[in-house]
Amino acid sequence: MHHFNHERLYCYQLAKEVVDWLNNEKFPVGRSNLKDQTVRASESLLLNIAEGASRSGPSRANHYRIALGSAAEFCACLDLLPFRNKDEQQNKLRRVGAMLSKL
């Protein structure tokens, strides 16, 4: 079976764990703007890792840089939300960020 390059990256797998966790959380009533922002940041993180892994040169670095910014934004969004286990998830995002900064 063929696997895409991003599927082999541990930073992608770890980021996907956090996104899967997020998808099981219930956002507070009246915070639809924060929900939209958090979901967009999480989607951007995964999609830019995937696209970067399929590119080379400056384009790859640019997608990983965007993904790093999305990881930071996602982490900041979680600061504003009352989710269980968010500290553990934020630590995962920090690890993803560390990995992205070295790619």
pLDDT of 35-81, one tens digit each?
999 999 999 999 999 999 999 999 999 999 999 999 999 999 999 99
User: Are 9 and 49 within 8 A, CB to CB?
Assistant: yes
- Looking at the chain, the whole-number percentage of residues with pLDDT higher than 90 is 97
